[in-house]
Amino acid sequence: MGSITSSLFISLDGVIEAPETWHFPYFDDEMGAVVGSLMGAADATLLGRRTYDEFAAYWPSADPADPVTAMMNGARKYVISGELEEATWENSTVVGGDAEAIAAELSSLKEEMTLGTTGSATLVQWLLEQRLLDELHLLVHPIVVGTGRKLFADGAQVPLELVSSEAFGSGVLHLVYRASHPVE
């Protein structure tokens, strides 16, 4: 049996938008090892529509000498979208329909493989609410961004259990959560 795991770069004030503008000063070997491990553990990547659009616009023409380019382009990808009908980026498949159909398809895929998400805040929220997400990895950066899309701006209440925590030399915290039952 597989699983669905999500990893996100997030600021102290909960912002996940545009990490390329605040994340890189904190990226070090410790974080690289975690990111590489999470990416290496996934048989396929789940992407929301907006993240897919951004990645599909960048990675196919990215520097071919960069090993991440080959990995991103060659990886199996599932795009979760109620609107997108065709995914043109190499090795991409659309999982669409209504919420019930998408949840059923993801449950089926989860039986067969380990799926990892990157970015895709709306998708991560939905996966949590549907109780489909097995692990949530937050790489909390020691910066207040001030503005931008927050991971948990709105949505259903979902109790989580802290599985592990690690502080990196850069001040970044790697927090790992899984769905839990409400505290009574």
Q: Is pLDDT at 82 greater than 90 in this prediction?
A: no
The pLDDT tens digits for 95-116 are 998 999 999 999 999 999 999 9
Q: Which domain holds residue 84?
A: 3-179
Order of strands across the sheet that contains 44-48: 92-95, 76-80, 44-48, 114-118, 3-11, 135-141, 173-179, 160-167
Domain of 7, CATH number, reads 3.40.430.10
Kindly report the number of other CB atoms within 10 A of residue 73's CB atom: 19
How many domains does the structure of the chain reveal? 1
| pLDDT tens digit sequence for 118-151 | 878 889 989 998 999 999 999 999 999 999 888 8
- Which neighbouring-strand residues pair with 95? 80
Do the domain assignments include residue 72? yes
Q: Is residue 184 part of a domain?
A: no
Could you tell me the pTM of the whole model?
0.88
- The answer as to whether 32 is a domain residue is yes
Residue pair 19/9 in contact by the 8 Å Cβ criterion: yes
